[in-house]
């Protein structure tokens, strides 16, 4: 299983001071050197953390696969086509949310998403759709022509350790199975931490996990390199 490290919150910290520390580029470099399989960043409409210059510098200066998370807007599509990241994950975006709250509703916006992903796919970008673990959304994702989905693990993560954990976990397992049976490559992420991530290994054939907040949080105390290596150990060898 691969690990993409989401470094948005290094930018959150940087922007809190309005200066250049901590450096997002340095963070991407350390993650890559620690063995991360990819760097993930979410360029939000309001640029509250990652900004345009960050993604272009990561792409040009860091020897690591870049996964650009973005909303399905014309502005973001233009940036992606100029940046040409290895991967693009299409996420829903609400202005006031603290973080991405739910999955992209592909089913209700089938035509829009079909059209939106076309130029990205033509540009050979590995497009992924960030969706809730439901059969309806998985089958709608299949119809768009993308090869990847990322299953939203937020509900599972929140339910971890409670009476709802099993139910939320099963939804991920079933959605992943249906997706793979329909030829999709399945990634997962959101809210995963050093405890609840272990169960991702019970889901057959998961390709990649994208994890951010917990790694950056751990890095505050342990150092980024150690934080990434510990997660890599869990993801790859445990």
The catalytic residue positions are 42, 69, 190
Q: Which residues pair with 3 in a beta bridge?
A: 209
Angle at 68 between CA 168 and CA 132, to 5 degrees: 20
What is the phi-psi region of residue 175: left when phi exceeds 0, alpha when psi lies from -120 to 50, beta otherwise?
Answer: alpha
Residues 8-67 that bind ligand PXP (CB under 6 A): 8, 42
Provide, rounded to whole angstroms, the least separation between the CB of residue 131 and ligand PXP: 10
Residues 6+ apart with CB under 8 A from 145: 114, 117, 118, 121
176 lines the binding site for ligand PXP (CB under 6 A): no
Phi, psi of 22, deg, nearest 5: -75, 150
- Applying CB under 6 A, among 116, 130, 160, 169 the residue interacting with ligand PXP is 130
169 lines the binding site for ligand PXP (CB under 6 A): no
- Applying CB under 6 A, among 37, 54, 93, 150 the residue interacting with ligand PXP is 150
103 lines the binding site for ligand PXP (CB under 6 A): no
Provide, rounded to whole angstroms, the least separation between the CB of residue 217 and ligand PXP: 9
The dihedral formed by the CA atoms of 24, 26, 27 and 30, expressed in degrees to the nearest 10: 160
- Applying CB under 6 A, among 31, 59, 64, 69 the residue interacting with ligand PXP is 69
Provide, rounded to whole angstroms, the least separation between the CB of residue 14 and ligand PXP: 16
160 lines the binding site for ligand PXP (CB under 6 A): no
Q: What is the bridge-based pairing of β-strands 2-6 and 38-42?
A: parallel
> Which is nearest to 86 in space by CA: 156, 147, 9, 176?
147
Binding residues (CB under 6 A) for ligand PXP: these are: 6, 8, 42, 69, 89, 91, 99-100, 130, 150, 189-192, 210-214
């Amino acid at each position: 299983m691969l690990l993409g490290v989401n470094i948005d919150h290094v930018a959150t910290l940087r922007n809190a001071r309005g200066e250049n520390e901590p450096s997002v580029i340095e963070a991407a470099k350390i993650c890559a050197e620690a063995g991360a399989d990819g760097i993930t960043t979410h360029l939000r409409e309001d640029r509250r953390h990652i900004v345009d210059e960050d993604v272009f510098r990561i792409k040009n200066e860091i020897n690591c696969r870049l996964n650009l998370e973005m909303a399905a807007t014309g502005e973001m599509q233009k940036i992606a086509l100029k940046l040409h990241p290895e991967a693009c994950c299409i996420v829903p975006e609400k202005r006031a949310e603290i973080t991405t709250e739910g999955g992209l509703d592909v089913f209700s916006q089938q035509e829009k998403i079909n059209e939106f992903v076309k130029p990205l796919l033509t540009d050979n970008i590995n497009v992924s759709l960030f969706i809730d673990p439901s059969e309806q959304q998985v089958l709608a994702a299949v119809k768009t022509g993308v090869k990847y989905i990322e299953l939203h693990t937020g509900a599972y993560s929140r339910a971890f350790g409670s009476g709802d954990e099993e139910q939320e976990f099963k939804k991920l397992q079933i959605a992943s199975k249906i997706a793979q049976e329909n030829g999709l490559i399945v990634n997962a992420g959101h809210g995963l931490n050093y405890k609840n991530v272990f169960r991702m290994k019970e889901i057959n054939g998961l390709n990649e996990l994208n994890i951010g907040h917990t790694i950056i949080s751990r890095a505050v105390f342990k150092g980024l390199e150690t934080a990434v290596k510990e997660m890599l150990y869990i993801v790859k060898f445990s």
